[in-house]
Structure 1
Amino acid sequence: MLLDKGRENSVVWVTGPPGAGKTTLVAQYIETFTKDSIWYQLDQGDTDVATCFHYLQQAVATPKRDSSFHLPTFTPQYLSDLAVFSRSYFREIFSCLESPFAMVFDNYHEVGPQSRLHEVMQAALEEVPDHGCVIFISRTDPPAFTAKFMANSKMMLLGWNELQLTREESDAIIELRDYEFAEADKQQLYERTQGWPAGLVLMLEAMRREGTPVEIPETFTPHLVFDYLAGEIFRTLADNHQDFLLRTAILPQVTATMAVQLTDYEDAEATLDFLNSHDYLISANRGNGETVYQYHPLLRDFLLNRAQEILPRKDRLLLESRAAALLEQTGNFEDATQLCIKNSEWGELARLIREHAATMLEQGRGETLEQWLEELPREMLEQDPWLIYWLASCKSVFTLRESRRLYEQAYRIFREQGNPDLEGILSTCAGIMDTILFELDDLTLLDYWIAEVEQLLVLYPDFPTSEYGAQVTYSMYQSLGFRQPSHPEIAQWAERVYTIVYTATDPSQKLRAAIALAPTIGWTGRF
Structure 2
Amino acid sequence: SPMPSLIPESLTSIRTFARRYFEELYARLLRHGAPSGNGGRGAVVVFDDYHEIPSNSEFHDLIASGLDSIPDGLRVIFISRYEPPSRFVRFKARDKISIVGWDEIRFTLKETEAMLRSVFNRKEKHYAEFLHKKTQGWAAGLVLLGPGTADEGMNRDEPPGMEDVFSYFAEEIFQYLDGRLQAFLFKTAFLPEITTSMAEALTGMSDAREILSELCRNNFFAVLHSGEEGQTYRYHPLLRGFLRSRATDFLGTTELLSVRSRSAVIAEGSGRIEDAAGLYIETKDWEGLSSLIINSARGLIAVGRNQTLETWLMKIPRSVFESSPLLQYWMGVARLPFSTHESRAYFDTSFKALKGREGSASAMLSWAGAVETIFLERGDFSRLDWWLSEVDDILKGPASITSGRVLTSVVKAMVEIILSRRPFSPENTPWIKKGVELLTEDIPVEEKLAIADPLQLYFIYTGDHLSASELISILESNPAISEASPLARIRWSLIRAVHTHMVDVSPDDCLKYIQEGLKTAEDTGVHLLDIPLYQTGAYASLIRGDIKTSEEFLKKMLPLVKPYSFFDIGNCSSIKLSHDLMRKRYLSALKNAAKTIRMAFRTGSPIPIFLTYLGMAQALIGLGRYRAARNQIEKARKIIKDTRETNAWSWLYLIEAYLLIKKGEAGYEEHLKRAFEISARQQHLNALHWNPEVMSVLCAAALEHGIETGYVKALIRRRNIPLPKGDHPPADWPFPVVIRTLGEFTILIDGRP
Q: Which residue of 1 aligns with 2:301?
A: 361
What is the Cα deviation at residue 290 of structure 1? Answer: 5.3
Please, which runs of 5 or more residues in structure 2 have no aligned partner? 34-41, 466-753
* Structure 2 SS opposite 1:504: coil
Shift of 1:492: 4.1
Q: What secondary structure is seen at the aligned counterpart in 2 of 1:502?
A: coil
**Which among 413, 419, 432 is matched to residue 481 of structure 1?**
419
Distance of 1:441 and 1:317 partners within structure 2: 51
Select the residue among 92, 96, 103 that pairs with 1:161.
103
Amino acid at match of 1:497: G
SS of 1:74 mapped into structure 2: coil
Decide whether aligned partners of structure 1 residues 125 and 225 sit closer, same or farther in structure 2, where only a CA change above 3 A counts.
closer
SS in 2 for 1:157: coil
> Aligned letter for 1:429?
W
Residues of 2 paired with 1:520 and 1:148: CA distance? 52
Which residue in 2 is equivalent to 1:124? 66
Contact 2:135 / 2:159 at 8 angstroms: preserved in 1?
no
Partner of 2:382: 444
1:216: Cα distance to partner? 4.7
Partner of residue 112 from structure 1, selected from 44, 50, 54: 54
Separation in 1, partners of 2:214, 2:53: 34
8 Å CA contact 2:398–2:430 kept in 1: the answer is no
Question: 1:310 deviation in Å?
Answer: 1.6
CA change 1:523–1:188 in 2 (3 A) is farther
2:152 pairs with 1:212: yes
SS at match of 2:79: strand
Structure 2 Cα separation of the partners of residues 269 and 152 of structure 1: 49
Q: Work out whether residues 482 and 524 of structure 1, in 8 Å CA contact, stay in contact via their aligned partners in 2.
A: no
CA distance in 2, matches of 1:314, 1:250: 15
Q: In the alignment, what sits opposite 2:567?
A: none
Match of 1:77 in 2: 9
Find the partner of 2:85 among 143, 148, 151: 143
**1:430-441 mapped onto 2 (5 Å cutoff):** 430-441=368-379
**Partners in 1 of 2:307 and 2:227 — Cα distance?**
33
Q: Which residue of 2 aligns with 1:510?
A: 448
Query: What are the within-5 Å matches in structure 2 for residues 100-499 of structure 1?
Result: 100-176=42-118, 177-182=120-125, 184-207=126-149, 212-213=152-153, 216-218=156-158, 220-225=160-165, 227-285=167-225, 291-417=231-357, 419-421=358-360, 423-458=361-396, 461-463=399-401, 466-499=404-437
Shift of 1:352: 0.7
The 8 Å contact of residues 332 and 346 in structure 2, kept in 1 or not, is answered as yes
Superposed displacement of residue 268, structure 1? 1.4
- Structure 1 residues 286 and 231 mapped into 2: Cα distance closer, same or farther (>3 Å)? farther
Encode CA deviations 1:352-404: one digit per residue, 9 max, x unaligned.
11111111111111111111111112112111111110011111111211111
Q: Does the 8 A contact of 2:419 with 2:454 survive in 1?
A: no
Partner of 1:475: helix, strand, or coil?
helix
- Displacement, 1:447? 1.5
User: Which residue in 1 is equivalent to 2:590?
Assistant: none
User: 1:469 Cα deviation (Å)?
Assistant: 1.4
Stretch moving more, 261-270 or 437-446? 437-446
Q: Number of residue pairs matched?
A: 454
* 2:4 match: secondary structure: coil
Residue number in structure 2 paired with 1:47: none
Give secondary structure in 2 for the equivalent of 1:115: coil
Contact 1:453–1:476 (CA under 8 A) maintained in structure 2: no
CA 1:214–1:371 in structure 2 vs 1: closer, same or farther (change >3 Å)? farther
Give the Cα–Cα distance (whole angstroms) in 2 for the partners of residues 524 and 141 of structure 1. 63
Match for 1:346: what amino acid?
W
Looking at structure 2, the residues matched to 431 and 286 of structure 1 have their Cα atoms a distance apart, in angstroms, of 42
Deviations 1:219-256 (A, max 9, x none): 62124245324433211122221222222222222222
**2: distance between equivalents of 1:348 and 1:153?**
50
Q: TM-score, normalised by structure 2?
A: 0.57
Do the aligned partners of 2:47 and 2:77 also contact (CA within 8 Å) in 1?
Answer: yes
Question: Measured at CA, do residues 465 and 271 of structure 1 come closer, stay the same or move farther in structure 2, by a change above 3 Å?
Answer: closer
Are the equivalent residues in 1 in contact too, given 2:408–2:438 (CA < 8 A)? Answer: yes
Distance 1:336 1:111 in 2: 19
Match of 1:3 in 2: none
Residues of 2 paired with 1:518 and 1:132: CA distance?
Answer: 48
More displaced, 343-352 or 217-226? 217-226
Q: Equivalent residue for 2:600?
A: none
Deviation at 1:77, TM superposition (A): 1.5
Once residues 203 and 524 of structure 1 are traced to their aligned partners in structure 2, the CA distance between those partners, rounded to angstroms, is 82
Q: CA 1:189/1:115 → structure 2, altered by over 3 Å: closer, same or farther?
A: closer
| Identity within the alignment, % | 32
Structure 1 pair 363/226, CA: closer, same or farther in 2 (3 Å)? same
Structure with the greater alpha carbon radius of gyration:
2
Aligned counterparts of 2:324 and 2:244: Cα–Cα separation in 1: 34
Q: Which residue of 1 aligns with 2:610?
A: none
Q: Secondary structure at the match of 2:107?
A: coil
Q: Which has the higher contact order (CA 8 A, sep 6+)?
A: 1
C-alpha contact (below 8 Å) 2:133/2:158 kept by paired residues: no
Letter in 1 for 2:239: L
Tell me the secondary structure at the aligned position of residue 381 of structure 2: coil
State the Cα distance separating 1:286 from its structure 2 match.
5.2
Partner secondary structure for residue 78 of structure 2: strand
Change (3 A) 1:464 1:270: closer
Distance 2:464 2:59 in 1: 43
2:332–2:344 CA contact under 8 A, matched in 1: yes
Task: State the match for 2:480 in structure 1.
Answer: none
Note the C-alpha offset of 1:125. 1.7
* 8 A Cα contact 1:389 1:406, kept in partner: yes
1:25-36 aligned at under 5 Å gives the runs none
Q: CA RMSD in A?
A: 2.5
1:289 is displaced (CA, Å) by 7.4
AA aligned to 1:473 is V
The CA distance in 2 between the partners of 1:521 and 1:163, in whole Å, is 69
Distance 1:102 1:123 in 2: 17
Check the 8 A contact 1:206/1:233 in 2, yes or no: no
Is the CA contact (8 Å cut-off) linking 2:415 and 2:451 kept in structure 1?
A: no
Structure 2 vs 1, CA of residues 349 and 205 (structure 1 numbering), >3 Å: closer, same or farther? same
Q: Which stretch shows the higher mean deviation, 385-394 or 104-113? A: 104-113
Query: Contact between 2:10 and 2:304, CA under 8 Å: does it hold in 1?
Result: no
Q: Deviations over 1:26-74 (max 9, x none)?
A: xxxxxxxxxxxxxxxxxxxxxxxxxxxxxxxxxxxxxxxxxxx232332
Displacement of 1:153 after TM fit? 3.0
